């Protein structure tokens, strides 16, 4: 299925060939007058892109594999950006979770330090009927000479 522009160019080419075949040979030998192209190169290029004429040129068709490769690389670049953005969000969530867990650890450590004070241990054991000893412990000394006999 050819596009409309290609069909029109083919029809124009056929019309020129028919016109050239109908002209006598003497006139054919005369050089064709060169018609200056209107507009500058940038204007012609822009109009070629806008109208789509550049798509049917041989140079463009030869460059298509490279253009597809560049398009594929662009897609990979965009996908990599999305992947990195997702990993960044995941990292932020993990950092927030670490901060919360660190805060919980510090609170638990402070409670443990408070509950392990001597006065708090005495208060907690008083409910069970245990009392703090007021008599200091005795030190037991074993003499090795007496023990060996």
Q: Where are the beta strands (DSSP E) in 19-70?
A: none
Mean pLDDT across the chain, nearest whole number? Answer: 84
Q: Is residue 16 part of a domain?
A: yes
Q: What was the pLDDT predicted at 78?
A: 98
For residues 51 and 87, membership in a common domain is answered with no
Asked if residue 149 is part of any domain, the answer here is no
Can you tell me the mean pLDDT for 115-140? 90
Residue 6 lies in a domain: yes
Which pLDDT score is estimated for 74?
98
Q: Are residues 72 and 99 in the same domain?
A: yes
**Which of the two residues, 87 and 18, has the higher pLDDT score?**
87
pLDDT in tens, 30-70: 555 655 556 688 888 888 888 888 778 888 888 889 999 99
Which conformational region is residue 82 in: left (phi greater than 0), alpha (psi within -120 to 50 degrees), or beta?
alpha
* Number of domains forming the structure of the chain: 2
CA distance 95 to 86: 14
| Together in a domain, 52 and 88 | no
Domain hosting 101: range is 64-125
9-13 own/partner pairs: CB under 8 Å, 24+ apart: 9/56
* CA terminus-to-terminus distance, the chain: 118
User: 0.85 exceeded by the pTM?
Assistant: no
């Amino acid at each position: 299925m050819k596009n409309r522009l290609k069909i029109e160019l083919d029809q124009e080419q056929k019309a020129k060939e028919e016109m050239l075949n109908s002209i006598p040979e003497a006139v054919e030998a005369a050089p064709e007058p060169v018609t200056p192209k209107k507009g500058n190169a940038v204007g012609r290029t822009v109009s070629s892109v806008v109208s789509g004429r550049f798509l049917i040129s041989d140079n463009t068709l030869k460059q298509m594999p490279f253009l597809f490769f560049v398009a594929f690389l662009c897609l990979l670049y965009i996908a990599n950006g999305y992947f990195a953005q997702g990993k960044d969000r995941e990292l932020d969530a993990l950092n927030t979770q670490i901060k919360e867990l660190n805060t919980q650890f510090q609170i638990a450590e402070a409670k443990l330090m408070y509950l392990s004070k001597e006065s708090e241990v005495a208060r907690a054991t008083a409910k069970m009927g245990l009392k703090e000893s007021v008599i200091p412990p005795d030190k037991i000394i074993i003499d090795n000479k007496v023990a060996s006999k």
